[in-house]
Structure 1
Amino acid sequence: MKIAILVEGATEVAFREKLREFLQTRLAGKMPQLTFISQNGRIPKEEKLKRVVENLLSGRSAYDAVIALTDVYTGTKDFKDAKDAKNKMMAWVGNNPKFYPHTALHDFEAWLLPYWSTIQKRAKHNRSAPSSSPETVNHNRPPAYYLKEIFRVGKVTRDYNKPIDGAKILKDNDLMIAIQACPELKAFVNQIISLCDESKIIP
């Protein structure tokens, strides 16, 4: 099974190895070939997304499936919520059974918020975690805002760096903690698992 995963950019560096590590524990003997394809900032829209997906699903080196992973918070008003983002991506690509749209709600950092104690240690500050569940943090103050703020006020004396700090925060933590706290992350991971072995889906 060859799966192409379209990502916005730094998400790839921060998340790729941790995801593979997790999947290897559930898909022994059925591990897919995952290729993360960075879109340099954000997932394409409309006809461009359709072309990208169709190109990946055709030709001698065609993939078996394409998953697009977009932030809901893109700095624009393109998407109202996760459902709207998925519906729009599906409409742009058309009726293609090998395309699977998914979202990080509202951005990749939502999946880091469950590891707040690790974030506190890296930022060298004891600021408390956002009170709401990770994926309900909204457009006005998206999850990345909280990480940037704690690094800004902490004693670490540098800004939050998505690929470096994201990877470090994930490195020594169990991905299942974030999966159970973040329904959109669970849906994304289960999509990959279901393409390989439906019996291994996370309940």
Structure 2
Amino acid sequence: MKIAILVEGATEMAFKTKLHDFLKSRLEPPMPKLKFIPQEGRIPKEDKLRRVVENLLEKDGYDAVIAITDVYTGTNDFVDAQDAKEKMRSWVGNNPRFYPHAAQYDFEAWLLPFWSTIQQISGGNKSAPSGSPERVNHDNPPSYRIKEIFEQGQKQGKCRSYSKTRDAVSILRRNDLMNAVNVCPELKAFLNTILSLCEADQIP
């Protein structure tokens, strides 16, 4: 199984190792070949997305293409994760090998369940955002919340600003991904798509 995963950029790339370890614990060999393909800041729109997907499937020989977009893109393109998925599917057309997914409101929502680790790394002591991680909204999305606690840590003498690549990897490495899966339905849906493509048991 050869799967292309279109991602926006640095933070999602940091997820690659954790995803591989998670799948390794649930899949029998051989493991699927996962290719993370960053899209320079955001997933393409409309005809450009369709062309990217078709080229990966028809020219590059991938069995499936998954796209993960943030709902929060700095624009008003998407209302929520469901709207983002529906729009991506409409842009690509009726292609059964394309699987759209969305992080609501951005990828860092999937890091919020590990807030105690974020506090340790940042040196800040801000309280975790209340409610479901995937409901932290457009006005102050998850990535901003994490940036804020790192800035607080700097003021308290810890000279370290938030780095999407370095710190996302560190946060994920120290934690069990299932703790995020259990409170992040969109993350669970993304993982279940891969498990389904590999004909493995899905996460209930």
Q: Give TM-score, length-normalised by structure 1.
A: 0.96
Q: Deviations over 1:37-82 (max 9, x none)?
A: 00010000000000000000013x4100000000000010000001
Q: CA RMSD in A?
A: 1.0
Whether the 8 Å contact between 2:12 and 2:107 is mirrored in structure 1 is no
Give the distance between the partners of 2:46 and 2:158, measured in 1 at CA: 41
Deviation at 1:172, TM superposition (A): 1.5
Corresponding position of 2:102: 103
* 1:17 equivalenced with 2:17 (yes/no): yes
State how far apart, in whole Å, the 2-side matches of 1:13 and 1:87 are: 24
What is aligned with 1:37?
A: 37
Distance in 1 between residues matched to 2:158 and 2:45, nearest whole Å: 38
Report if aligned partners of 2:134, 2:184 keep a CA contact under 8 Å in 1.
Answer: yes
Q: How many residues align?
A: 201
Asked if the contact 2:7–2:13 (Cα under 8 Å) also holds between the matched residues in 1, the reply is no
Aligned partners of 1:63 and 1:100: how far apart in 2?
Answer: 13
2: CA distance between counterparts of 1:122 and 1:89?
Answer: 35
Contact (CA 8 Å) 1:2, 1:65: kept in 2 or not? yes
* Whole-angstrom distance in 1 between the partners of 2:95 and 2:123: 47
Residue 183 of structure 2: aligned partner: 181
> Which residue of the other structure, out of 189, 192, 199, is the alignment partner of 1:190?
192
Native 8 Å contact 1:30 1:197 kept in 2: no
Aligned to 1:5: 5
Q: Tell me what 1:201 maps to.
A: 202
Runs of 4+ aligned residues of structure 1 deviating over 6 Å after TM superposition are none
> In the TM superposition, what is the alpha-carbon distance from 1:28 to its structure 2 partner?
2.1
Moved more, 157-166 or 108-117: 157-166
Partner of 2:151 in structure 1?
152
**For 2:25 and 2:3, how far apart are their aligned partners in 1?**
18
**TM-score (ref. length: structure 2):** 0.96
**Gapped regions of structure 2 (runs ≥ 5):** none
Return 5+ residue gaps in structure 1 as ranges. Answer: none
